[in-house]
């Protein structure tokens, strides 16, 4: 049973190694992620080898249930499909008020979408102030960069529930973030396709989750996109 934030982080670190294989993992782990924050702790730890920032925690029933659910998910997670390098990739993106979500998929022989990988990212304070259009653009540039090894040199589709994004690559903006993002995206071969939000539920859910890097924001968070 974890007794301090160090122990909880170690547990989450182990689970997070497999996070990309399990949909809704971050949502499930959220109670434990909140637990490692100082405001959720009950006092200093002072255990040998632990950081000064380590705090004692009260292991409540809620946390035990979360841990057991994580174990169950890890033991029974659905295996993601291996990519078919002869087929086109489908990259679905979405945003929420505090996060970005992406799903990399392909069509199988039955013309049904199969998932290759999931991804989600929490917005920093600056990004949370972006307008809707900027956030939707950010979701695309982040997702494309995140799955660069799959997408580079291949034609793919970007699926979004934000219709205005279809004109992203035709923007006349020449300065600022959006101009830089468009320049970055010009190295890729893709088209943007609109899909209504109600048909885009998988990626919408991911945009409302947090990533494993947010277990300890100060120590692990590293935003790779310039503001």
The predicted pLDDT at position 21 comes to: 60
- Cβ contacts of 84 within 8 Å, gap of 6 or more: 106
**Do the bridges between strand 55-56 and strand 113-122 make them parallel or antiparallel, or are there none, so unpaired?**
unpaired
CATH architecture entry for 5-79 = 2-Layer Sandwich (3.30)
CATH classification code of 89-207: 3.30.420.10
The whole-model pTM stands at 0.59
The predicted pLDDT at position 157 comes to: 96
183, burial (CB in 10 Å: exposed 0-12, middle 13-18, buried 19+): exposed
**How do the domains of the chain map onto residue ranges?**
5-79, 89-207
Of the candidates 112, 106, 81, the residue with the CA atom closest to the CA atom of residue 92: 106
The predicted pLDDT at position 133 comes to: 87
Residues belonging to the chain: 227
- Mean pLDDT per segment of 10 residues, for the chain of length 227 residues? 78 69 73 74 73 82 87 66 92 82 89 84 87 90 95 94 79 76 90 76 50 34 35
The predicted pLDDT at position 227 comes to: 39
Own/partner pairs for 45-54, CB < 8 Å, 24+ apart? 45/3, 45/4, 45/5, 45/6, 47/4, 47/6, 50/4, 50/6, 51/6, 53/5, 54/4, 54/5, 54/6
The predicted pLDDT at position 90 comes to: 96
Distance CA 165, CA 183 (A): 15
Q: Do domains 5-79 and 89-207 have the same CATH topology?
A: no
């Amino acid at each position: 049973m974890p007794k301090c934030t160090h122990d909880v982080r170690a547990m989450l670190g182990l689970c997070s190694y497999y996070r990309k294989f399990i949909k809704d993992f971050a949502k499930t782990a959220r109670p434990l992620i909140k637990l490692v924050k100082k405001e959720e702790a009950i006092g200093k730890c002072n255990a040998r080898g632990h950081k000064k920032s380590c705090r004692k925690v009260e292991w409540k029933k809620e946390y035990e249930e979360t841990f057991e659910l994580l174990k169950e998910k890890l033991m029974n997670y659905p295996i993601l499909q291996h990519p078919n390098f002869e087929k086109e990739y489908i990259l679905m993106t979405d945003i929420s008020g505090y996060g970005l979500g992406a799903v990399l998929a392909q069509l199988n022989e039955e013309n049904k979408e199969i998932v290759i990988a999931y991804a989600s990212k929490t917005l920093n304070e600056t990004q949370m102030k972006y307008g809707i259009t900027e956030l939707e653009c950010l979701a695309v540039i982040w997702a494309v960069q995140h799955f660069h090894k799959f997408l580079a040199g291949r034609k793919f589709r970007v699926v979004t529930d934000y219709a205005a994004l279809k004109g992203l690559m035709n923007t006349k903006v020449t300065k600022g973030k959006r101009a830089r993002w468009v320049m970055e995206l010009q190295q890729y071969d893709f088209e943007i396709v609109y899909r209504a939000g109600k048909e885009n539920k998988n990626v919408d859910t991911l945009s409302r989750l947090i990533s494993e890097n947010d277990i300890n924001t100060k120590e692990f968070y590293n935003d790779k996109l310039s503001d």
